[in-house]
Amino acid sequence: ELKVEQNPLFLSMQEGKNYTIYCNYSTTSDRLYWYRQDPGKSLESLFVLLSNGAVKQEGRLMASLDTKARLSTLHITAAVHDLSATYFCAVDSSNSGYALNFGKGTSLLVTP
Amino acid sequence: GAVVSQHPSWVICKSGTSVKIECRSLDFQATTMFWYRQFPKQSLMLMATSNEGSKATYEQGVEKDKFLINHASLTLSTLTVTSAHPEDSSFYICSAKGTVDPYEQYFGPGTRLTVT
């Protein structure tokens, strides 16, 4: 069974600070995804990481993937209030028909 | 491009009744659609995978006779919750994979079901 673990599950940080969210997964996976979810809304795709060493950046968010360690990170730089949301990582595999296995999510609150 | 819609966006139904949720890919052909369920403050859990023209594959613990999934065309999948009970109240989200980008799943806006 493919397991995905995120930490921390809750994160309160001040504006302007940096922080990293970690995502570990248990078995070989084809791809690693990061999503953002605002309250009452569906998922917004942030990043799709396809290979070992992949790094992608969009604004204040940067995601990386280490397939050997089965670890992905989502780094937040100089946080702003608008980044407050829940962030999910997910992995897929051919064994599951490419359905996504999600982590529990990290609820991020950025305060002034 | 790659837009997925869901209808309705929210629905309230009485216990014992059935409700149908539609998931449509508006501008691409969805060869595979996935149905997820999300309880408040929890993660998304896969319910079933459906391929166009085939029977859906349900995850362990998901009752296929209660959650009827039909994927009759390359742009439409439906989830029918039969004999709904209050514990079925949840946020149901579909996603679709197609030929636009083989690595991407496109999520619908979700349907909030409340069973009274």
β-bridge mates for residue A109, sequence order: A12
Confidence of residue B47 (pLDDT cuts 50, 70, 90): very high
Mutation site, B31, B90, B105, B114, interface A, largest A CB count within 10 A: B105
Q: What is the pLDDT of residues A23-48, one digit of tens each?
A: 999 987 778 999 999 999 999 999 99
**What average pLDDT does range B75-96 have in this prediction?**
96
Handedness of CA A19, A23, A24, A30 (dihedral sign): negative
pLDDT of residue A93: 76
Chain A CB within 8 Å of residue B93 CB: yes
* Single-letter residue type at A57: Q
- Å between A82 CA and nearest CA of chain B: 19
Question: Closest Cα to residue B104, out of A49, A62, A29?
Answer: A49
Question: Closest Cα to residue B34, out of B44, B24, B46?
Answer: B46
Chain A CB within 8 Å of residue B2 CB: no
Judged against a pLDDT cut of 90, whether residue A1 lies above it is answered with no
In a 3-state reduction of DSSP, which class is residue B61?
A: coil
Chain A CB within 8 Å of residue B60 CB: no
Helices (H), chain B: none
Cβ separation of B95 and A100 shorter than 8 Å? yes
Say if CB A23 and CB A70 are below 8 A apart: no
Q: What is the pLDDT of residues B66-80, one digit of tens each?
A: 999 998 899 999 999
Residues in chain A: 112
What phi and psi values does residue B67 have, to the nearest 5 degrees?
-110, 95
Q: How far is residue B75 CA from its own chain's centroid?
A: 13
pLDDT of residue A38: 96
Judged against a pLDDT cut of 90, whether residue B101 lies above it is answered with no
pLDDT of residue B48: 95
Q: What is the pLDDT of residues A75-88, one digit of tens each?
A: 999 999 999 999 99
- Flag the least confident range among A25-29, B25-29, B75-79, B81-85: A25-29
Q: Which residue of A has its CA nearest to B111?
A: A42
Cβ separation of B110 and A42 shorter than 8 Å? yes
- Flag the least confident range among A1-5, A55-59, A85-89: A1-5
Mean pLDDT of chain B: 93
Judged against a pLDDT cut of 80, whether residue A65 lies above it is answered with yes
**What average pLDDT does range A54-70 have in this prediction?**
95
